[in-house]
Amino acid sequence: MKIIALEEHFQTAAIKEAVEKQYSGQQAKFPLKLADPLSRQLGDIGEERLQNMDKTGIDVQFLSHTTPGPETLPAAEAVPLARDANDQLAAAIKAHPERFAGFATLPTPDPEASAQELERTVRLLGFKGAMINGRTGTRFLDDPAYRQLLETAAKLDVPLYIHPTVPSQAVQDAYYAGFDPVTNFALATGGWGWHMETGIHALRMIVAGVFDRFPGLQIILGHWGEMIPFYLARATMVMETTPAGKSLQRPFADYFTQNFYATPSGLFTVPQFLLTLQIMGADRIMYSVDYPYRSGEQARRFLEEAPISPADKEKIAHLNAEKLLKL
């Protein structure tokens, strides 16, 4: 069974250096330093990565720059760094076109440049979409500043993958503080906070009417849909009574089931998978490992042992990605 993994990360040395400089002295905000093996694996987009893919049963990786990235930097710095990251990724894909594919890194502090870079990477470099590392400052993708970016994605017919980011400092202080710094940060990020943040990001796009303006726009969410499948019925019931909800052209839940895809992002958990399957259907789920933060050793085993039909396994493993991304 062929497996295409869609949330597999890399990091350029230049962006790593810029981000570390940006947050120098702010250990309370980013107290978790990457272990050396992770840092090395993020920096490798060659032989070590390919060997790991062979070992763990991954046929194709869609590479995207890890977070934090250009979204945390001043616009003047973010633009050239994002372009350089995309050029480095394009070179790796050119060297191994059967094994690697790319999601663009965008300089979201500059919305206009982000739209231009998405068009450049898709048209000239053959990328298949972009990875958006959450909000930029206080702005989510429903902000009017990003209309050109969304319009470009819709025009090019490529998806945007929304990846979690760290909640704002005010949110961290209000909801995730009171413990030691490492525990605070873990609760605000992978332990809970960034999944809720990303789910809110997606819901804001629906409420704002993004998909009425761009009905073909497709969004990918990791971690089994970032909490939304569990509460989609509740969100629909409440939001359809609001002025914004009443102004939408389609039933609220339809936007999630028709404009979004979900991946596991390394969460090989059967109950959550089955819930997402019931809500979204097998045509709306694709595979991801979250390399190198999660091991790919479970990739093939999870799919092979999943209590679903062989046809649905093939859809999730590779067919849906091939259709959406025109592989």
Q: In this structure, what token pair is assigned to residue 23?
A: 């947050």
**Residue 112: per-residue pLDDT:** 98
Q: In this structure, what token pair is assigned to residue 308?
A: 């679903």
Could you tell me whether strands 4-10 and 60-65 are parallel, antiparallel, or unpaired per DSSP bridges? Answer: parallel
- Tens digit of pLDDT at every position of the chain (327 positions): 999 999 999 999 999 999 988 887 665 555 555 567 888 999 999 999 999 999 999 999 999 999 999 999 999 999 999 999 999 999 999 999 999 999 999 999 999 999 999 999 999 999 999 999 999 999 999 999 999 999 999 999 999 999 999 999 999 999 999 999 889 999 999 999 999 999 999 999 999 999 999 999 999 999 999 999 999 999 999 999 999 999 999 999 999 999 999 999 989 999 999 999 999 999 999 999 999 998 778 778 888 899 999 999 999 999 999 999 999
**Residue 33: per-residue pLDDT:** 59
End-to-end CA distance of the chain: 16
Give every CB contact of residue 135 below 8 A, 6+ residues apart in sequence.
Answer: 71, 141, 165, 197, 201
Model confidence, pTM: 0.96
CATH code of the domain containing 314: 3.20.20.140
Distance from C-alpha of 145 to C-alpha of 221, rounded to nearest angstrom: 22
**Residue 31: per-residue pLDDT:** 54
Of 45, 114, 128, the closest CA to residue 83 belongs to 114
Distance from C-alpha of 28 to C-alpha of 25, rounded to nearest angstrom: 8
Count of beta carbons in the 10 Å neighbourhood of residue 178: 9
What's at 91, amino acid-wise? A
- DSSP for 148-166? HHHHHHHHHT--EEEPP-P
* Residue numbers of the domain that contains 34: 4-324
Q: Are 204 and 142 in contact (CB under 8 A)?
A: yes
